[in-house]
Amino acid sequence: MSTYAHLVPGPLSLTAPTAALTIGPLLLSWIALETIWRDGMSLIKPSKFLHVGIPVNDLDRAKDFYVNVLGLEDSDAGRERTSPHSPVRLHCGDSPDPGQQVVLFHRPTPIEARSPDAEGHAHHAFIVTPEEFDLAFERFQEMGIFHRGPIVWRPDSHRTLYFFDPDGNYLQLADGDED
């Protein structure tokens, strides 16, 4: 039996040799999580989604894009940022309700990612009306930020359009809710 077995609730079941336990706290944390997952429990259960944080190279340029192109609202309107690197808080819809907030964070080391493959097609999706979708499809091509679309992933579903923000973050517009 491992010298760490008394710290893990329930029986210890590892496929790796017990000698691997000598690598310390990181493996011990894995063992504790493995026990929780094995028992079918989650560690926590959040009640709501609050916001998405998007890393950007230039906060002012990104804010201009998200407000003037995507139409997000400035959640901090009228308040001065305390430093040039203070996060910019925006939101979709009429109020900054949980789940509708977008927070732009300054990226300490600028990068220019312009390939969805680099991030495993990770993206942030926004819902618009069909009329706004058609306008965006036309204008995004003119602006040079368009990537692909419109795509309908399932029959009788909404359309999607993919594009990049000025800092290379991959974004999606959808003209309807998920099915």
Domain ranges for the chain:
112-179
pLDDT higher at 80 or 120: 80
- Read off the DSSP letter of residue 92: S
Q: Which amino acid is at 2?
A: S
CB contact at 8 A, 42 and 36: yes
Q: Is the pLDDT of residue 98 over 70?
A: yes
Stretch among 47-61, 67-81, 112-126, 138-152 having the lowest mean pLDDT: 112-126
pLDDT of residue 145: 86
Q: In the CATH hierarchy, which top-level class contains the domain 112-179?
A: alpha beta
Q: pTM (2 decimals)? A: 0.72
- Does the pLDDT of residue 6 top 60, yes or no? no
Place of tokens 């997000």: 72
Output the pLDDT for position 56: 95
- Chain center to CA of 81: 23
